Amino acid sequence: MSLPPSSSTPSALNIESTLQAGKTAFLGMATLSTAQKNEALAQFAEIIAQHADLLLAENQKDIAQAEADALTPSLYQRLKLDAGKIAQLVQGIRDLIQLPDPAGQVLGRTQLDDGLILEKITVPLGLIGIIFESRPDVIPQILSLILKSGNAVVLKGGREATQTNQAFMQLVDKLNAACPWLPPHWATLLDGREAVQQMLHYPQFVDLIIPRGSNQLVQSIMSNTKIPVLGHADGVCHLYVHPSVKLDQAVAVAVDAKIQYPSACNALETLLVDKAIASSFLPRFAQEAQAAGITLRGCKDTLLLLPQIDPASDADWRTEYGDLTLSIKVVPSLDAAIQHINQYGSHHTDAILAQDPAVLEHFLNAVDSACVFANASTRFADGFRFGLGAEIGISTAKTHARGPVGLEGLVIYKYKLRGQGHIVADYVGTTAKPFQHQAL
Amino acid sequence: MSLPPSSSTPSALNIESTLQAGKTAFLGMATLSTAQKNEALAQFAEIIAQHADLLLAENQKDIAQAEADALTPSLYQRLKLDAGKIAQLVQGIRDLIQLPDPAGQVLGRTQLDDGLILEKITVPLGLIGIIFESRPDVIPQILSLILKSGNAVVLKGGREATQTNQAFMQLVDKLNAACPWLPPHWATLLDGREAVQQMLHYPQFVDLIIPRGSNQLVQSIMSNTKIPVLGHADGVCHLYVHPSVKLDQAVAVAVDAKIQYPSACNALETLLVDKAIASSFLPRFAQEAQAAGITLRGCKDTLLLLPQIDPASDADWRTEYGDLTLSIKVVPSLDAAIQHINQYGSHHTDAILAQDPAVLEHFLNAVDSACVFANASTRFADGFRFGLGAEIGISTAKTHARGPVGLEGLVIYKYKLRGQGHIVADYVGTTAKPFQHQAL
């Protein structure tokens, strides 16, 4: 069985041998030492820095094609590499070296009897299939996370970034030559949608699929494979405004959660307003929201206070707009808000704005979502902001257990974030506040 | 929407309302305090102890039916309750009270900025669907794990145990009356295979399915649902005998791993023997194995040393016999053994017998299975033996992450067990050694 070099894009015909080689590579990756992995990361950063010109030249070919195809400005923006982005990538990889090795962590150690010692220890997952769209700077981020964790990967990037993606894979070949301890085929770039479709049928080789892209892409992958999928199809995020809220803060957080990056999965889609505060909150919020370009839709009770906006239908409560549209519902109580979120939400990120500590705690405990926030924008739900170093995706799934599963296999974690009206806008741009990320 | 009491067995027509009620109950369960859950466990133990006569009488009806149907002795044995089994169940529930609450554990706490504190915390999973066969004592074990962890459950037991299962659910009604803080419908017994088939189509209500039963049952469920399935279809477990082994120990462990409970998923199916030790190990092992009633099948090299046994075909390497049949393969090296296990195994439990520490470490690191053991029987792969308190199932899956997933979402754990030739037979029966389960 002959295999292409890792930078090549295998044809549909040899997807099976490609995946098998990737799985074999994983078994080699899993036994690398921390020092070997960190040295590979250092080399990778260096190789990217040295070949910035190559990357920019190849990226220029994609840009030219994009201009010929009249791509949208936002897609163009995401596609374009520049010296600054490359320097950021290089720094990101160097930062990763400083993080502890996630594999080999001892989670527990029990003496079962004299000389019989049980350890629970973290290990890498396996061969991971990652599908992503346009942004070519995603490739080095993914590759460096895969290296650091000791996994192997097959990648499928957006067609618009073909030349840039292949340039990055050329640098992987250089990395493999510089680090002979890396097993060949630990990273392979797939070509064509057919390759992705075929990959879905090899659970014996692929341990996990991470689709990063449209709801449609994610749904389609989840429906067509037995391989576990890490990700989320929807991001229907909520903010509930409780009567004990500080009004100024509530308006600022709600606006931030919507406008800070409307197409992000952690952007606000439905604002739930307690009826006890609706008449003082809604007119004020509507004024700022409309000034910020947000289009509002409301339930019947909302329309009584904001007659100028369009009505929301039942379908709105399940809609991820992905743009500056926002639905508003007046709810009679805290429990009604929780019930609405658990029923209509996507279990991604949901927040409450309130000052009453008992109310905050009840909300954080009773909402069944991966991220539940008190007095902070939903936009904080992000691996970098959480201090995770980087993010391979955001998962709304709950499964996690391996081996004999006892009590601890019956629980999963959630992230609780407690703020004082914090908004993400303060942490981005040229005047951004730095994160402290200090362990307590 | 009217709902039956929790002890009833809902018809296929109202499975949707049953599951919806279970999901609603989960949201109530998830906010119970540790004290409320422990008090419910104490009441449950007391109620079972007080109603032993009811349980035995209803179990007698199942036994009578089983006798009429001429069930096999082993099924009869598993079906039959007696006063001793009930006392054990009661004690098991009381033991569970002493364990820490698995929910609400803080896994990490980070200050992102002044006043902005991120916590990573364990929470219960949701509504769990559990399908199991004949043994009626599984019901109280499952219910007590569900109670302690704050989940909700829909159960489907074996038809043979119908009367006993319903008797246990009557005791759940008494428990609910005694503990009004328990949300109604936190535990429901389903009736009929159709109910299980229908349940598979409600991912919006059911968060996890745990099938405990035949390979066929598990495969069928995994193929027909988008709901995550925790479990394992196969238990093709291996033992590799390295040249640095202590021969007596190797023979004793290999025999234990096979005969101790041949139909268990952690029983040995394939013995891999290094060619450097084959001629001294195999004849000795074969003598003891055949004395213990084990039927051997071997590869060509094995047959040269054991001409009296049948040949093994390629299909044998993937077979979970579930009885006293064992396949033997002579392998040329440690790496060949690892490769065989990773290729043909089911990633459940695999062990090595050797004295060379470097060999042991390489095996434990390179075998991609949930449980990897050094010098101990595969039969130790068990929640009780691991000191987990109890076991809801054994999982060969690896997915686990929720929320923003960084490096730590790219790893999962494995269990490493280091022994000195330990066998399970020493830990069962009337002269059983006790486990120490002492945290180090």
Domain chopping of chain B, boundaries: 12-223, 237-427
Q: Which amino acid is at B204?
A: Q
Report pLDDT for B73.
Answer: 76
Nearest chain A alpha carbon to B363: A31
Task: Give the pLDDT band of residue B289 (cuts 50, 70, 90).
Answer: very high
Give yes or no for a contact between A3 and A18, defined as CB atoms under 8 angstroms apart. yes
Interface of B with A in 144-173 (CB under 8 A): 145-146, 148-151
* Degrees to nearest 5, angle at CA B249 with B246 and B250: 80
- DSSP-assigned beta bridge partners for residue A220: none
B126, B370, B416 ranked by CB distance to A119: nearest: B416
CA distance B148 to chain A (A): 8
Q: To the nearest whole percent, how much of chain B has pLDDT over 90?
A: 47
pLDDT of residue B57: 97
Q: Residue A373: what residue type?
A: F
Measured between beta carbons, which residues in chain B are less than 8 angstroms from residue A200? none
The pLDDT, as a whole number, for residue A94 is 92
pLDDT(B8) > 80: no
Interface of B with A in 130-149 (CB under 8 A): 145-146, 148-149
Give me the residue label for tokens 């099976």: A16
Contact list in A for residue B337 (CB cut-off 8 A) is: none
pLDDT band at B404 (very low <50, low <70, confident <90, very high): low
8 Å CB contact of B412 and A125: yes
Most B CBs within 10 Å, among A38, A123, A334, to test the B interface:
A123
Tell me the C-alpha distance between B167 and B238, whole Å. 41
Helix axes A83-98, A52-68, angle to 10 degrees: 130
CB-CB: which of A103, A338, A440 is closest to B109?
Answer: A440
User: Is B388's Cβ below 8 Å from some Cβ in A?
Assistant: yes
Percent share of chain B, pLDDT over 70: 87
* B403/A437 touch (CB, cutoff 8 Å), yes or no: no
What residues contact A75, with CB distance under 8 A and at least 6 apart?
A66, A134, A160
Q: Which segments within A290-370 are labelled E, that is strand?
A: 295-298, 310-311, 325-331, 349-353
Residues of B in contact with A37 (CB under 8 A): none
Cβ <8 Å between A368 and B27: yes
Distance of CA A59 to the CA centre of its chain: 24
Lowest mean pLDDT, pick from A115-119, B8-12, B367-371: B8-12
Q: What is the pLDDT of residue B54?
A: 97
Ramachandran area for residue A146 (φ above 0: left; ψ -120 to 50: alpha; else beta): alpha
B27 interface with A at CB cutoff 8 Å: yes
Q: Which of A99, A400, A433 sits opposite B400 (nearest CB)?
A: A400
pLDDT of res. A13? 54
Q: Residue range B344-366: average pLDDT?
A: 90
Looking at the complex, report in whole angstroms how far the Cα of residue A302 sits from the nearest Cα belonging to chain B. Answer: 27
By C-alpha distance, the chain B residue nearest A419 is B116
Query: Within an 8 Å CB–CB cutoff, is residue A222 touching chain B?
Result: yes
ipTM at complex level: 0.79
Probe site for chain B from A109, A335, A371, A407 (most B CB atoms < 10 A): A407
Interface of B with A in 390-409 (CB under 8 A): 390-409
A413 and chain B in contact, CB less than 8 A? yes
CA A45 to each of CA A66, A418, B406: distance values in angstroms, whole numbers, following the listed order: 28, 36, 19
Q: Which of A2-6, A310-314, B369-373, B386-390 has the lowest mean pLDDT?
A: A2-6
Residue A381 contacts residue A266 (beta carbons within 8 Å): yes
pLDDT of residue A1: 35
The CA-atom distances, in angstroms, between B290 and each of A152, B236, B309 are 44, 21, 10
Residues of B in contact with A376 (CB under 8 A): 116
Place of tokens 């994610």: A218
Q: B399 phi and psi, to 5 degrees?
A: -85, 155
pLDDT band at B12 (very low <50, low <70, confident <90, very high): very low
CATH number of B12-223: 3.40.605.10
From the candidates B27, B113, B438, which should be mutated to test the interface with A, based on the most A CB atoms within 10 A? Answer: B113
pLDDT at B223 over 90: no
Of A14-23, A263-272, B13-22, B383-392, least confident by mean pLDDT is: B383-392
pLDDT(B411) > 90: no
Is B45 within 8 Å of B94 (Cβ atoms)?
yes
Name which of A346, A399, A428, A435 to mutate to probe chain B: the one with the most chain B Cβ atoms within 10 A of its Cβ. Answer: A399
Average pLDDT on B130-150 reads 86
Q: Which of B105, B146, B414 sits opposite A123 (nearest CB)?
A: B414
What local confidence, expressed as pLDDT, does residue A308 receive?
94
B241-249: average pLDDT: 92
Looking at the partner chain, which of A31, A118, A148 has a beta carbon nearest the beta carbon of B415? Answer: A118
Residues 253-312 of B with CB under 8 A from A: none
- Give the closest-approach CA distance of B303 to chain A in angstroms: 30
Are both B12-223 and B237-427 of the same fold?
Answer: no
Question: A439, B109: Cβ pair inside 8 Å?
Answer: yes
Q: State the pLDDT confidence band at B386, using cuts at 50, 70 and 90.
A: confident
Nearest CB neighbour to B148, from listed A116, A380, A407 = A407
| A432 in B contact zone (CB under 8 Å) | no
The half-sphere exposure of A177 on its side-chain side, counting CA atoms within 13 A, is 9
For residue B125, give the nearest of A125, A342, A411 by CB distance.
A411
**Contact yes or no for A117 and B417 at CB 8 A:** yes
Instruction: List Cβ neighbours of A309 (8 Å cut-off, separation of 6 or more).
Output: A286, A296, A297, A298, A302, A303, A328
- Cβ–Cβ below 8 Å for B413 and A122: yes
CB–CB contact A228 B398 (8 Å)? yes
Is the pLDDT assigned to residue B26 strictly greater than 50? yes
Q: What is the pLDDT of residue A435?
A: 64
Domain B237-427 has CATH 3.30.70.2740: no
- Residues of chain A under the 70 pLDDT cut: 1-13, 134, 388-390, 397-428, 433-440
What is the spatial distance between Cα A262 and Cα A32, in angstroms, rounded to a whole number? 41
Per-residue pLDDT at B420 = 61
Q: What is residue A416's predicted lDDT score, i.e. its pLDDT? A: 42
Give the closest residue to A421 by CA, choosing from A209, A238, A253, A171. Answer: A253
Per-residue pLDDT at A35: 97
Q: How far is A380 from chain B (nearest CA, A)?
A: 10
For A:112-131, CB contacts with B below 8 A are 112-126, 128
Q: Which of A96-105, A375-384, B377-386, B400-409 has the lowest mean pLDDT?
A: B400-409
